[in-house]
Amino acid sequence: MVYIIPSLIEEKISPRAKELIKKLDNFVENECVPAEPIFHKQIDKGEDRWKTVPPIIEELKKKARSLGLWNLFLSKNYHEGAGLTNLEYALMAEITDTGNMEVFAKYGTFAQKSKWLTPLLNGEIRSGFAMTEKKVASSDATNIETSILRVGNAYVINGHKWWISGAGDPRCAVFLVMGKSDPGNENKHRQQSLIIVPRNTPGINIIRPLTIFGYDDAPEGHCEIIFKDVRVPVENIILGEGRGFEVIQGRLGPGRIHHCMRAIGAAERGLQLMIERVTDPSRRTFGKLLAEHGTVVSDIAKSRMIIDQARFLVINAADMIDKVGAKHALKEIGMAKAIVPSMLLKVLDRSIQAHGAGGVSEDFPLAAMYAGGRTLRFADGPDEVHIQQIGKLELRRAREIKKANEKRSKLKPKL
């Protein structure tokens, strides 16, 4: 078993969760990792690249489900969930991946859930989240320009989105689209709505898949999409008009933690590859194994230390969500989000360096992991925004500190 639960929190993990973690770790190590080269072979190099899904993926999904390793991510607050705490799932997310089904589970009506959540959970369809816009700095959600206008019993959507991950996938059946239904509202956080838009609605034009560095991530892809007079029934609104901001706030907390833990899993893999490489006896320089050079040893130690530190931030945030909810864990979630992606990139960069030219090539997963990891530094808000927010939350302590000072100054014994 490669994965180890940090000693510090072992007592908090139920026997059932421990069992699942172990099974999951085995599945990933012995089924998924060996399947990677098969996956790459099965992806078409030509035009059909976006039309088929490599069969190995469906095989693995089937297997995962038969092992009970399916849809573990919905926490025990949900009827549909696997009954794990956020902390427990965070440990598993270090090993696996999820979608945006949480929105449906948390905010969907019964009808919305029946129509979309069920097939999503079954892995029959996939979905895309259409938030980012090409022409504005949409990391500030108040900048969003896509319009969602009520016309009779329908909403009409017009907007220019990009970086809609998964939109290239032939299984993608539905988008959640963020836009402004009330752009004149004085409360800037009540202008937005989130709406369900089936993939095959007329007026949706998928312009192109974008690349991340040189990767197109087919068949899922990250697409640029124009929504032109796209019309959906009013019941497709999520939670109600003007509540889009609220919904994405609720979605982001646990989602960010999952992203972070997957990034930590990726960092562990990067370090593992580095250890493998520097102890490879055929890679001697100047008469020594790479692992015998002091600076290489030091790089490995530094990677271990930043991974472990980052992991504690994430599991602490997950634990806070379990205890007081995402709203009251903003600082903890923000710290995880601000630290983890940079940590991952540092670890991968050292591993790439130890691999030399091989490290940037397709012969190792490192460069592709780096490219993916790089997007995490602005996905769901750039580092800078999170850091400013953490700083401001910390600065709120100023008042309490001043009070304590004043109290002390009265207590101060005479000299």
Judged by CB under 8 A, the residue of 174, 296, 326, 347 near a copy of itself is 296
Among residues 164, 35, 9, the alpha carbon closest in space to that of 91 is found at 9
Number of residues that bind a copy of itself (CB under 8 A): 117
Does 304 engage in binding with a copy of itself (CB under 8 A)? yes
Which residue in the set 120, 278, 326, 333 belongs to the binding site for a copy of itself (CB under 8 A)?
278
Check binding of 226 to a copy of itself (CB under 8 A): no
Could you say which residues in the range 143-172 bind a copy of itself, by CB under 8 A? Answer: 143, 162-163
- Restricted to residues 26-45, the positions that interact with a copy of itself (CB under 8 A) are 29-30, 33-35, 37-38, 41
- Contact between 136 and a copy of itself (CB under 8 A)? yes
On the question of a cis peptide bond just before residue 219, with omega within 30 degrees of 0, the verdict is: yes
Is the Cβ of residue 114 or residue 208 nearer to a copy of itself in the bound state? 208
Contact 376, 344 (CB under 8 A): yes
β-sheet bridge partners, residue 208: 224
Specify the residue, 127 or 389, whose C-beta has the smaller distance to a copy of itself.
389
Q: Kindly indicate which of the ranges 106-114, 153-161, 254-262, 294-302 contains the residues binding a copy of itself, using the contact rule CB under 8 A.
A: 294-302
Site for a copy of itself in 177-206 (CB under 8 A): none
Angle of CA points 33, 371, 163, to nearest 5°: 105
Site for a copy of itself in 41-100 (CB under 8 A): 41, 46
Nearer to a copy of itself, 3 or 78 (CB): 3
Q: Is 22 in the site for a copy of itself (CB under 8 A)?
A: no
Q: Is 140 exposed, middle or buried (0-12, 13-18, 19+ CB in 10 A)?
A: exposed
Helical segments of 330-397, H only:
330-355, 357-360, 366-375, 383-395
Any alpha helices (H) in 100-207, and if so which ranges? 101-107, 110-112, 118-121
- Please tell me whether residue 374 binds a copy of itself under the rule CB under 8 A: yes
Nearest distance from C-beta of residue 383 to a copy of itself, angstroms: 7
Instruction: Please give the Cα distance from 264 to 223 (Å, whole number).
Output: 26
Distance between CA atoms of 363 and 324, rounded to whole angstroms?
45
Residue 178 has phi, psi (to 5 degrees) of: -100, 130
**Which range in 76-84, 139-147, 237-245, 254-262 contacts a copy of itself by CB under 8 A?**
139-147
Q: If you ran DSSP here, which 8-state letter would residue 373 be given?
A: H
Q: Which stretch binds a copy of itself (CB under 8 A): 66-74, 241-249, 253-261, 312-320?
A: 312-320
**In this structure, how many other beta carbons lie within 10 angstroms of the beta carbon of residue 295?**
8
Residues 197 and 204: beta-carbon distance below 8 Å? yes
* Under rule CB under 8 A, residue 398 binds a copy of itself: yes
Stretch that binds a copy of itself, among 91-99, 116-124, 251-259, 334-342 (CB under 8 A): 334-342
Answer whether 283's CB lies under 8 Å from 277's CB: yes
Is there binding between residue 407 and a copy of itself (CB under 8 A)?
Answer: yes
CA distance 148 to 232: 10
Is there binding between residue 309 and a copy of itself (CB under 8 A)?
A: yes
